[in-house]
Amino acid sequence: MITVVVADDQALVRMGLRVLIDNETDISLVGEAGDGRQAVAEVRRSRPDVVLMDIRMPVMDGIEALRAITADPQLAETRVLMLTTFELDQYVFDALRAGASGFLIKDTEPAELLRAIRLVAAGESLLSPSVTRRVISHFVERPPVRGTVHPELERLTEREREIVSLVAAGLSNDEIAARLVVSPATVRTHVSRAMVKLRARDRAQLVVFAYQSGLA
């Protein structure tokens, strides 16, 4: 059973998500919160598999709550999906940098949201296909301030570097496999190894590391 906490300051949004999740046999809502501080407390109490976290909330916003969750070693297995009203919310990159496993816009189709929960719970990351390339284009046009090169970057092989850069370009494993003329399984192996070497929580953080280190 996949356990979920919903954090959103709008009661109607929480109710809608509750109804959606309650109809599923493999997903269980174990907690709700109306602000970021409550969200952190609830996540520490229930230790869910997935958190659906609104970015803009009172008391403590979703980004701060996300940082608190990802910094807690006891919550290392909890994955956070950020919810945003706009496809190019100004905080999206900050959320990914802070350890979010992806983000969804609030008018995402119910089936896609449930799919996202299952994907993230299985260890994948979610940069919605409908918005991934727009987000990447946004950062290409207005590049974020690059930090220092990731200290473990030198451990990547040339092939791993190439694949990480393609991940950052928004390509799926199948698209990368087709471009490099290798199997999707080979791509998955390289992505997994790169994640281990860079200590990335998931694929989404690979995108962040790629931009910060100049691979994208």
Run of H or E residues at 112: helix 110-121
Within-domain flag for 176: yes
Q: Among 105, 139, 173, which residue terminates a domain?
A: 139
- Per the structure, the count of domains in the chain is 2
| CATH number for 185 | 1.10.10.10
Confirm if 69 and 75 have CB atoms less than 8 A apart.
yes
Within-domain flag for 26: yes
Within-domain flag for 144: no
Inter-CA distances, 194 with 5, 7, 55, 106, 181, Å: 29, 31, 28, 31, 19
- Give the integer Cα–Cα distance in Å for 30 and 188: 32
Same domain membership, residue 166 and residue 128: no
Same domain membership, residue 109 and residue 178: no
| CATH number for 8 | 3.40.50.2300
Across 142-156, 180-194, 195-209, least confident range: 142-156
Name residue 5's amino acid. Answer: V
Across 129-133, 190-194, 196-200, 202-206, least confident range: 129-133
Averaged pLDDT score across all residues of the chain: 83
| 3-state DSSP of 23-63 | CCCCEEEEEEECCHHHHHHHHHHHCCCEEEEECCCCCCCHH
Within-domain flag for 207: yes
Which structural domain, as residue segments, surrounds residue 192? Answer: 153-213
Query: Among positive and negative, which fits the CA dihedral 135, 139, 144, 150?
Result: positive
Q: Among 139, 170, 203, which residue terminates a domain?
A: 139
Same domain membership, residue 104 and residue 168: no
Q: Is the pLDDT of residue 86 over 60?
A: yes
Same domain membership, residue 102 and residue 24: yes
Confirm if 3 and 48 have CB atoms less than 8 A apart.
yes
Same domain membership, residue 96 and residue 15: yes
Output 32 or 152, whichever has higher pLDDT: 32
Same domain membership, residue 56 and residue 34: yes
Same domain membership, residue 46 and residue 118: yes
**pLDDT at residue 87 in the model:** 57
Cα within 13 Å of Cα(93), Cβ side: 21
Same domain membership, residue 126 and residue 166: no
**pLDDT at residue 9 in the model:** 93
Within-domain flag for 113: yes
Q: Is the pLDDT of residue 46 over 90?
A: yes
Q: Among 109, 139, 169, which residue terminates a domain?
A: 139
| pLDDT tens for each residue of 157-193 | 999 989 988 887 777 788 899 999 999 889 888 888 8
pTM: 0.70
Same domain membership, residue 206 and residue 182: yes
| pLDDT tens for each residue of 63-81 | 999 999 999 999 988 999 9
Same domain membership, residue 112 and residue 14: yes
Within-domain flag for 146: no
Residue 91 — φ and ψ, nearest 5°? -95, 0
Same domain membership, residue 131 and residue 78: yes
Confirm if 139 and 94 have CB atoms less than 8 A apart.
no
| 3-state DSSP of 139-203 | HHHCCCCCCCCCCCHHHCCHHHHHHHHHHHCCCCHHHHHHHHCCCHHHHHHHHHHHHHHHCCCCH
Same domain membership, residue 102 and residue 166: no
